[in-house]
Structure 1
């Protein structure tokens, strides 16, 4: 009987339930979702606009900020619009192809995001520990090539995930208790053996992200050692301030991602609505906070952004 309930081609449609147990509060929950998303788009598009327009910001560090902004925009856009459809219009259906596409983009961009953070750590290491060689080694062209390598790496490692999911047999239950197509939630609906998929989806991300985090920690360890050797207090503070923003961004990104993944796999005692809210914070908070952190901590970017805002708010300012 169980075999007769399996479908070899998979379901044509999944149902995303939003946040189970809080259906009556969906309209209220949508307010911070929409607010965070709008702030994220405004902040990240502002970074892209200012860096693109301002010639003095056409440097490796700001090219990396643009890469980070693009990943933040993509991560939040892959999730939030569909969540708002559920909250506002009760449009819970999503096709199998749409679900797998959402999963692919979400995890690919997350891995690209990690690669960008690693390149940022290497950029700060070269700027502080090898300043005389910085301009010759880290050119805009080389940063773009490193970003391309990060993109190719992410696609190669993430592509098997939707392919493996599409081959799983599914039972009669096509309801996903989530606001987006989280790959583990999809695998749990299968009536077949998911051992190979679960192994791949656990080992590969932790291996890749683990290597990135290890290299980032090593880079900042060397940076801190170099900073402590600086005798000038002013230079000491300047060197530390250039790294503070990067460290905050890495903490918010990796901490929220790790917590979300671990609670989804092993947090059976955590209430489902708590886990789903935390999983959504992973795609809402870092994209919103990253441009704010860099806007506050990076003086050159802060000053240029302030100048553009002043020009837009004061049409006659250019006449003086």
Structure 2
């Protein structure tokens, strides 16, 4: 995936850039824009690495929403309007009430792995830098990931279509609710506003009229709401979500974990505990069920290694830790460096 020559941009945009060579459209500089979500930003990083762009030629930014209090209910409005409301109404009211609005926590990982500090994205600032470096370094490749970056990346392309090539990753095309489908059809979400949109193939086709949403939308509105069966030419499909699990990464993981896993008695059972979804809420009953299932297979296992994700509810982790802490066959990873430490 190191060549964009086959990509076609909408009318009025620059030609697809080259990732190698010394031509006028050769890419030598890239800008990454994330949202603070490692899952989404890792897709952005995976694309950059697949394109072969060196990390010293990258500049990273984030688009973050205010968090806490009433801000948690304003996620459906544009980020710029949300920040304005937070500045003019939410924060002054919180100060008068004697309370502080907690800042939204941005976890480590994602773009933070490329830079010790990730500043807030400013479209005009990014455009100015792209224009200043265009004559010397050629066009700037802008890769944005996540819903919150859509307005920013679209504005960058609108202001400097001749100096940037904008790739939007991880637009959530798969919508379940009628309200969400209307949001997807909002002008901010139109693929034509970008040079290239990268999305999983199943997300696009399940959002079409034949994808099972006919009953959720009145027939008179289906033509306006649903995307075309024939996708636009600047929409690139992937088999699944972008990731960094390439052969090189797997080899490095094997080297890092080989000495840690080798001493464990076989057969080795690996249990990865994730987080809740809309269709699967993680409650104490689920934790109890998992504990029971593990006890049922412990006799047939040499050892069990358990790890939690960043989305695992603490109450679920506490139940498992309470049951298996100190068990001679069970090793619980502390989510740090490779370690067989028993938590």
User: So what's the TM-score if we normalise by structure 1?
Assistant: 0.24
Q: For the pair shown, which has the larger CA radius of gyration, 1 or 2?
A: 2
Structure holding more strand per residue: 2
User: So what's the TM-score if we normalise by structure 2?
Assistant: 0.23
Structure holding more helix per residue: 1
Comparing both chains, which one has the higher relative contact order based on Cα–Cα distances under 8 Å and sequence gaps of 6 or more?
1
